[in-house]
Amino acid sequence: MINFLNSVPLYPGWLFLFFFGLFFIKLTKYRKLGKVILILFSIPVLFIVASTIFGIWLMETNPGVFPGGEAYTPGQVD
């Protein structure tokens, strides 16, 4: 819970970059700059989402239940 609360002040900064890119696309003649800002903004967000999904996938697959995993000892008879 503490780690989540420490990161809350960072959220307005990310939203500022997003709206800054939209501002450049919609209201100025520098549309390419707005697109670049949005792309650069989306890379860390996509990395966070992908790493979260990958982390959940790693937690769900248990290597101890497969042959050759930590629970497997050759020659042991049950």
**Section 42-71 average pLDDT:** 75
Domain ranges of the chain: 13-56
To the question of pTM greater than 0.75 for the whole model, the response is no
- Bigger pLDDT: 70 or 57? 57
pLDDT tens track for 4-47 = 666 666 677 777 777 888 888 888 888 888 888 888 888 888 88
Locate 30 and state its tokens: 């520098």
In DSSP notation, the chain reads: -HHHHHHGGGHHHHHHHHHHHHHHHHHSS-HHHHHHHHHHHHHHHHHHHHHHHHHHHHHHS-GGGSTTSTT--TT---
**Section 47-73 average pLDDT:** 72
